[in-house]
Amino acid sequence: MSSSKTIKKMNESRPVFEHQGPILEIKDLRVSYGAIQAVKGVSLTVGRGELVALIGSNGAGKTTTLNAVSGTLPFSGGSIRFEGAETKGMGAWNIVSAGMAMVPEGRGVFTRMSILENLQMGAYLREDSSRIEEDMQEIFAIFPRLKEREHQLAGTLSGGEQQMLAMGRALMSRPKLVLLDEPSMGLSPLMVDKIFEVIADISKKGVSILLVEQNAQRALQIADTAYVIESGSIAYSGNAVELLDDARIKASYLGED
């Protein structure tokens, strides 16, 4: 079974939600580390089924923004609304339960657990136990390499295999929105191709994605909409294809004159 057909199957029969606006709305987000303001009024939206890329240089505030959205980092001002509900004070646990999954920078796999156990952890909040095993096999269809090593400890996997596992674990929660933080970091060109192929397939089958990625060209090639963050503020935003052809973006982020 191809990865795109598998992902389509995993996302069939999703419930219809009363809130019909963007799945994620960030308005005037501000985040500080003590006296240092890392994010200075970021606003962006992610529509249903939309793949949004947030690009920028190191230290621009990309990961800080993502951590605030996931509930793992408190924010000092502005608002974050997921499915129309304000997330401030919800806590990361409740945000995950509401349908958001994050694949953190550095993958964050449970190194002393097997691949199988890591994937099971991705479904720990689910109550439809009869479907968990079925979804597990669908993850293995997307990432056959994980099936071959399902009893291997996650800490012994290569960086690319750990990235596959982290993405598979996120999908096991059947998320409405996936946050991806630097998924291509440290991977070989072939593995980067595979990871971006899966990201594109996930988006095409209706899962919303907010992608933080330093490889601006690859991110813009698969995204619908993109935002460029500079020094904690949004400098540019728009259609990803148009930004890919923008002279300012080429000069600053794509290494082109």
Instruction: Inform me whether the pLDDT recorded for 10 exceeds 60.
Output: no
pTM, rounded to two decimals: 0.89
Question: Is pLDDT of 9 > 70?
Answer: no
On the question of pLDDT at 119 being above 50, the answer is yes
Task: Give how many domains the chain has, as a whole number.
Answer: 1
Among residues of the chain, what percentage have pLDDT more than 90?
76
Structural domain boundaries enclosing 122: 3-13+20-253
Which carries the bigger pLDDT value, residue 29 or residue 202?
Answer: 29
Residue 253: predicted pLDDT: 87
Q: What is the CATH number of the domain that holds 110?
A: 3.40.50.300
pLDDT of residue 1: 52
What is the DSSP annotation of the chain? --HHHHHHHHTTTPPPPS--S-SEEEEEEEEEETTEEEEEEEEEEE-TT-EEEEE--TTSSHHHHHHHHHTSS--SEEEEEETTEE-TTT-HHHHHHTTEEEE-TT----TTSBHHHHHHHHTTT---HHHHHHHHHHHHHH-HHHHHTTTSBGGGS-HHHHHHHHHHHHHTT--SEEEEE-TTTT--HHHHHHHHHHHHHHHHTT-EEEEE-S-HHHHHHH-SEEEEEETTEEEEEEEHHHHHT-HHHHHHHSS--
